[in-house]
Chain A
Amino acid sequence: DQQVKQNSPSLSVQEGRISILNCDYTNSMFDYFLWYKKYPAEGPTFLISISSIKDKNEDGRFTVFLNKSAKHLSLHIVPSQPGDSAVYFCAASGTDSWGKLQFGAGTQVVVTP
Protein backbone atom coordinates (compact mmCIF):
# COMPACT_ATOMS: atom_id res chain seq x y z
CA ASP A 1 0.00 0.00 0.00
CA GLN A 2 1.57 3.25 -1.16
CA GLN A 3 1.92 5.73 1.67
CA VAL A 4 2.95 8.55 -0.64
CA LYS A 5 0.79 9.26 -3.66
CA GLN A 6 1.25 11.50 -6.65
CA ASN A 7 -2.02 11.22 -8.50
CA SER A 8 -1.02 13.19 -11.58
CA PRO A 9 1.37 11.17 -13.74
CA SER A 10 1.98 14.10 -16.05
CA LEU A 11 1.73 17.88 -16.24
CA SER A 12 2.20 20.17 -19.21
CA VAL A 13 2.83 23.88 -18.61
CA GLN A 14 3.84 26.84 -20.71
CA GLU A 15 7.20 28.45 -20.18
CA GLY A 16 6.91 31.34 -17.74
CA ARG A 17 3.78 30.00 -16.05
CA ILE A 18 3.47 28.32 -12.66
CA SER A 19 3.83 24.55 -12.29
CA ILE A 20 2.01 23.02 -9.33
CA LEU A 21 2.76 19.45 -8.37
CA ASN A 22 0.75 17.69 -5.71
CA CYS A 23 1.50 14.90 -3.28
CA ASP A 24 -0.65 13.19 -0.64
CA TYR A 25 0.45 10.92 2.17
CA THR A 26 -1.30 8.58 4.57
CA ASN A 27 1.22 7.97 7.36
CA SER A 28 0.73 10.42 10.21
CA MET A 29 4.24 9.59 11.47
CA PHE A 30 5.84 11.30 8.47
CA ASP A 31 7.62 14.46 9.58
CA TYR A 32 10.09 15.23 6.80
CA PHE A 33 9.25 15.68 3.16
CA LEU A 34 11.40 16.10 0.09
CA TRP A 35 11.10 16.65 -3.63
CA TYR A 36 13.49 15.09 -6.10
CA LYS A 37 13.94 15.85 -9.77
CA LYS A 38 15.00 13.24 -12.31
CA TYR A 39 16.23 13.64 -15.85
CA PRO A 40 16.39 10.65 -18.23
CA ALA A 41 19.49 8.46 -17.78
CA GLU A 42 20.35 10.19 -14.49
CA GLY A 43 19.64 9.47 -10.86
CA PRO A 44 17.16 11.62 -8.91
CA THR A 45 18.64 14.81 -7.47
CA PHE A 46 17.47 16.60 -4.35
CA LEU A 47 15.42 19.71 -5.00
CA ILE A 48 13.85 21.01 -1.79
CA SER A 49 12.64 19.73 1.56
CA ILE A 50 10.35 20.73 4.41
CA SER A 51 10.05 19.68 8.01
CA SER A 52 6.64 19.17 9.58
CA ILE A 53 7.24 22.08 11.93
CA LYS A 54 6.94 24.41 8.93
CA ASP A 55 4.21 24.96 6.39
CA LYS A 56 6.30 26.59 3.68
CA ASN A 57 9.86 26.50 2.41
CA GLU A 58 11.27 28.52 -0.48
CA ASP A 59 14.40 28.15 -2.54
CA GLY A 60 14.58 30.44 -5.52
CA ARG A 61 11.88 29.50 -8.03
CA PHE A 62 10.81 26.49 -5.94
CA THR A 63 8.40 26.60 -3.01
CA VAL A 64 7.02 23.64 -1.10
CA PHE A 65 3.83 23.96 0.93
CA LEU A 66 2.78 21.51 3.61
CA ASN A 67 -0.76 21.07 4.92
CA LYS A 68 -0.46 18.59 7.76
CA SER A 69 -4.16 18.41 8.55
CA ALA A 70 -4.89 17.40 4.96
CA LYS A 71 -1.73 15.26 4.69
CA HIS A 72 -0.92 17.11 1.52
CA LEU A 73 2.08 18.89 0.09
CA SER A 74 2.65 20.73 -3.10
CA LEU A 75 5.61 22.02 -5.09
CA HIS A 76 5.30 25.31 -6.94
CA ILE A 77 7.75 26.25 -9.67
CA VAL A 78 7.58 29.90 -10.72
CA PRO A 79 8.34 30.75 -13.44
CA SER A 80 8.61 27.41 -15.23
CA GLN A 81 11.57 27.01 -17.57
CA PRO A 82 12.31 24.43 -20.29
CA GLY A 83 15.07 22.96 -18.11
CA ASP A 84 12.41 22.10 -15.53
CA SER A 85 11.09 19.37 -17.83
CA ALA A 86 11.76 16.23 -15.79
CA VAL A 87 10.10 13.68 -13.53
CA TYR A 88 9.47 14.95 -10.00
CA PHE A 89 9.25 12.58 -7.07
CA CYS A 90 7.72 13.39 -3.72
CA ALA A 91 9.28 11.54 -0.76
CA ALA A 92 8.66 11.32 2.97
CA SER A 93 10.21 9.88 6.08
CA GLY A 94 9.00 9.61 9.63
CA THR A 95 9.84 8.73 13.19
CA ASP A 96 8.83 5.13 12.51
CA SER A 97 11.02 4.68 9.43
CA TRP A 98 14.53 5.48 10.68
CA GLY A 99 15.23 7.85 7.84
CA LYS A 100 14.14 5.53 5.05
CA LEU A 101 12.34 7.47 2.36
CA GLN A 102 8.97 6.47 0.88
CA PHE A 103 8.56 7.75 -2.67
CA GLY A 104 5.57 8.63 -4.77
CA ALA A 105 5.20 7.36 -8.33
CA GLY A 106 6.41 10.60 -9.85
CA THR A 107 4.97 13.34 -12.07
CA GLN A 108 6.38 13.98 -15.53
CA VAL A 109 6.54 17.74 -16.14
CA VAL A 110 6.84 19.08 -19.67
CA VAL A 111 7.47 22.81 -20.09
CA THR A 112 6.52 24.01 -23.55
CA PRO A 113 7.82 27.19 -25.23
Chain B
Amino acid sequence: DADVTQTPRNRITKTGKRIMLECSQTKGHDRMYWYRQDPGLGLQLIYYSFDVKDINKGEISDGYSVSRQAQAKFSLSLESAIPNQTALYFCATSQGRNYGYTFGSGTRLTVV
Protein backbone atom coordinates (compact mmCIF):
# COMPACT_ATOMS: atom_id res chain seq x y z
CA ASP B 1 0.00 0.00 0.00
CA ALA B 2 1.09 3.55 -0.72
CA ASP B 3 2.33 5.69 2.16
CA VAL B 4 -0.05 8.50 1.17
CA THR B 5 -3.32 7.51 -0.50
CA GLN B 6 -5.63 9.92 -2.24
CA THR B 7 -9.17 9.16 -3.35
CA PRO B 8 -10.61 9.51 -5.88
CA ARG B 9 -7.86 9.50 -8.51
CA ASN B 10 -10.07 11.19 -11.05
CA ARG B 11 -13.34 13.06 -10.68
CA ILE B 12 -15.58 15.05 -12.97
CA THR B 13 -18.18 17.18 -11.24
CA LYS B 14 -20.64 19.89 -12.15
CA THR B 15 -20.45 23.56 -11.23
CA GLY B 16 -22.09 24.21 -7.87
CA LYS B 17 -21.67 20.69 -6.53
CA ARG B 18 -19.98 19.92 -3.24
CA ILE B 19 -17.07 17.53 -3.51
CA MET B 20 -14.65 16.00 -1.02
CA LEU B 21 -11.15 14.75 -1.75
CA GLU B 22 -9.72 12.37 0.78
CA CYS B 23 -6.19 11.70 1.94
CA SER B 24 -4.89 9.09 4.32
CA GLN B 25 -1.32 8.27 5.35
CA THR B 26 0.57 5.47 7.03
CA LYS B 27 3.78 7.46 7.60
CA GLY B 28 2.80 8.49 11.13
CA HIS B 29 3.57 12.11 10.28
CA ASP B 30 1.83 14.92 12.14
CA ARG B 31 2.05 17.44 9.32
CA MET B 32 -0.29 17.22 6.34
CA TYR B 33 -0.80 19.52 3.38
CA TRP B 34 -3.08 20.08 0.41
CA TYR B 35 -1.62 21.57 -2.78
CA ARG B 36 -3.01 22.19 -6.22
CA GLN B 37 -1.02 22.10 -9.42
CA ASP B 38 -1.86 24.27 -12.39
CA PRO B 39 0.18 24.39 -15.60
CA GLY B 40 2.90 27.02 -15.37
CA LEU B 41 2.22 27.76 -11.70
CA GLY B 42 3.77 24.85 -9.94
CA LEU B 43 2.31 23.70 -6.65
CA GLN B 44 0.30 26.15 -4.56
CA LEU B 45 -0.58 25.53 -0.92
CA ILE B 46 -4.30 25.40 -0.11
CA TYR B 47 -4.38 24.31 3.55
CA TYR B 48 -2.04 22.68 6.03
CA SER B 49 -2.27 21.05 9.42
CA PHE B 50 0.54 20.46 11.91
CA ASP B 51 -1.56 18.24 14.15
CA VAL B 52 -5.15 17.14 14.60
CA LYS B 53 -6.20 20.36 16.35
CA ASP B 54 -4.25 22.68 14.07
CA ILE B 55 -5.63 23.88 10.70
CA ASN B 56 -4.14 26.75 8.72
CA LYS B 57 -4.92 28.49 5.47
CA GLY B 58 -2.40 28.48 2.68
CA GLU B 59 -1.93 30.83 -0.25
CA ILE B 60 -5.14 29.93 -2.10
CA SER B 61 -7.70 28.76 0.48
CA ASP B 62 -10.73 30.67 -0.86
CA GLY B 63 -13.44 28.25 -1.98
CA TYR B 64 -11.93 25.34 -0.05
CA SER B 65 -12.29 23.87 3.42
CA VAL B 66 -10.55 21.00 5.19
CA SER B 67 -11.10 18.54 7.97
CA ARG B 68 -8.42 16.69 9.95
CA GLN B 69 -10.36 13.68 11.20
CA ALA B 70 -7.36 11.92 12.70
CA GLN B 71 -3.59 12.06 12.54
CA ALA B 72 -3.76 9.89 9.44
CA LYS B 73 -6.66 11.58 7.61
CA PHE B 74 -6.96 15.00 6.03
CA SER B 75 -9.85 15.83 3.69
CA LEU B 76 -10.29 18.73 1.31
CA SER B 77 -13.76 20.00 0.37
CA LEU B 78 -14.95 22.25 -2.38
CA GLU B 79 -18.22 23.62 -1.04
CA SER B 80 -19.52 24.80 -4.40
CA ALA B 81 -17.21 23.78 -7.20
CA ILE B 82 -16.40 26.21 -10.01
CA PRO B 83 -14.58 25.58 -13.31
CA ASN B 84 -11.38 27.40 -12.30
CA GLN B 85 -10.93 24.81 -9.56
CA THR B 86 -10.18 22.31 -12.30
CA ALA B 87 -6.67 21.17 -11.40
CA LEU B 88 -4.48 18.37 -10.09
CA TYR B 89 -4.67 18.15 -6.29
CA PHE B 90 -1.95 16.66 -4.13
CA CYS B 91 -1.90 15.69 -0.50
CA ALA B 92 1.46 15.53 1.25
CA THR B 93 2.86 14.70 4.68
CA SER B 94 6.07 15.56 6.48
CA GLN B 95 7.66 14.86 9.84
CA GLY B 96 8.83 18.38 10.46
CA ARG B 97 10.85 21.32 9.34
CA ASN B 98 13.81 20.49 7.14
CA TYR B 99 12.25 17.22 6.13
CA GLY B 100 10.87 16.72 2.70
CA TYR B 101 7.32 15.89 1.85
CA THR B 102 5.84 12.54 0.87
CA PHE B 103 3.17 13.10 -1.76
CA GLY B 104 0.14 11.11 -2.76
CA SER B 105 -0.46 10.23 -6.39
CA GLY B 106 -2.87 13.11 -6.87
CA THR B 107 -6.53 13.64 -7.72
CA ARG B 108 -7.36 15.04 -11.14
CA LEU B 109 -10.51 17.14 -10.68
CA THR B 110 -12.51 18.56 -13.56
CA VAL B 111 -15.38 20.96 -12.91
CA VAL B 112 -17.74 21.35 -15.86
Contacts and interface: CB of A to CB of B under 8 A. Distances in A.
A60 interface: no
Interface residues of B, number: 27
B43 interface: yes
A43 B103 contact: yes
Q: How large is the interface on A (under 10, 10 to 19, 20 to 34, 35 or more residues)?
A: 20 to 34
Interface in A10-52: 32, 34, 36, 41-46, 49, 51
Given A43-B4, A43-B104, A99 B40 contact: no
A99 B105 contact: no
Chain A CB within 10 A, most for which of B35, B101, B102: B101
B112 to A, nearest CB: 21
A93 interface: yes
A36 B42 CA distance: 12
Contacts of A45: 103
A100 B92 CA distance: 11
Interface string A51-79: 10000000000000000000000000000
Interface of B: 4, 31, 33, 35, 40-45, 48, 50, 58, 90, 92, 94, 96-106
